[in-house]
Amino acid sequence: MNWEFFSNNRYKVLQCMAQRRIELNGKEIVPLSQQDIADVVQLSKKQVNIIINELKENGYILQKSPTRGKYFLTPKALNIVAQM
């Protein structure tokens, strides 16, 4: 497990998303926009955008559509949240 990857604000963003998941049509989604996440974790929207792209590139989240929110946490992400 790459704990160094989460030694900064990435974990804050991932935890925020994990805590705000809702079930929709039998799937758990994160219905937050990047601005919503930025407001919760007290980072800029640009910082959140960079972190979300890093999380996507490393297989921690998937995005249903390029528009507002609708992120999915992968099992890999849920495992990190459970262990930290």
- Cβ pair 69, 33 in contact under 8 A: yes
CA 71 to chain centre: 7
**d(Cα 8, Cα 69) in Å, to the nearest integer?**
22
CA distance 84 to 79: 9
Taking residues 53-82, report their average pLDDT. 87
Instruction: With beta carbons less than 8 A apart as the criterion, state whether 45 and 25 touch.
Output: no
- CATH T-level topology, domain 3-79: Arc Repressor Mutant, subunit A (1.10.10)
pTM here?
0.87
Which is higher by pLDDT, 34 or 25? 34
